[in-house]
């Protein structure tokens, strides 16, 4: 019986280690540098500033996509916000996140569940898996939306009307781009 328990416990520890990795480097790994590294979105500073910094540099929206960064807003429990990369879209209301410094100080969590609990289905209120309780967190967290790794699309050029030299008074116009 004791040998069976020890084998089970050893297997459990190995499985747990694959979900949570503590960085080998000194210091504590934070969510923003980790999200920047895994997503390729080159934004610096506290997580609560990412949404504003992304404006005009990266596409933003409220649809989950693999590789996008979910930007959480600052709140009383998260004064500097949080950022996490979407590793899988399960449905329009559920994703798997890969992020750092959420359940465990400096720890990395891969493919943890997050669900949209917002009234408007726009990912502005999110519940995230929390390791110490082994399930979704007890509270929801405010979010701004998703930052996509692509640059925003340029606006269509406006046509410019040029008067033809062959017409008098510009009656005939030619469109140029």
CATH code assigned to 23-176: 3.90.1720.10
Task: Compute CA distances 24 → 29, 37, 65, 121, 132, whole Å.
Answer: 10, 16, 30, 39, 21
Backbone angles phi, psi at 109, to 5 degrees: -120, 130
Q: Which helix (H) or strand (E) holds 33?
A: helix 31-39
Q: Which residues contact 17 (CB under 8 A, 6 or more apart)?
A: none
**Model confidence, pTM:** 0.72
pLDDT for the residue 150: 82
Domain ranges of the chain: 23-176
pLDDT digits (tens, 9 = 90+) for 73-92: 999 999 999 999 999 999 99
pLDDT for the residue 20: 43
Yes or no: say if 111 and 84 are a contact pair by the CB < 8 Å rule: no
pLDDT for the residue 32: 98
Degrees to nearest 5, angle at CA 46 with 37 and 31: 40
Residue 166 reports pLDDT greater than 70: no
Question: Rounded CA gap, 92 and 115, in Å?
Answer: 9
């Amino acid at each position: 019986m004791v040998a069976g328990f020890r084998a089970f416990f050893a297997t459990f520890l190995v499985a747990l280690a694959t979900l949570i990795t503590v960085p080998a480097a000194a210091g504590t790994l934070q969510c923003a540098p980790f999200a920047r590294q895994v997503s390729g979105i080159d934004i610096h500073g506290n997580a609560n500033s990412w949404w504003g910094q992304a404006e005009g540099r990266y596409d933003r929206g409220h649809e989950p996509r693999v590789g996008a960064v979910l930007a959480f807003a600052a709140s009383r429990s998260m004064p500097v916000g949080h950022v996490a990369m979407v590793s899988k879209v399960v449905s329009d209301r559920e994703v798997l996140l890969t992020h750092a410094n959420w359940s465990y100080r400096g720890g990395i969590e891969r493919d943890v569940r997050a669900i949209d609990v917002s009234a408007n289905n726009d990912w502005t209120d999110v519940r995230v898996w929390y390791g110490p309780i082994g399930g979704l967190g007890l509270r929801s967290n405010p979010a701004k939306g998703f930052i996509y790794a692509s640059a925003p699309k340029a606006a269509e050029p406006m046509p410019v009307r040029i008067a033809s030299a062959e017409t008098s008074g510009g009656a005939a116009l030619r469109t140029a781009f």
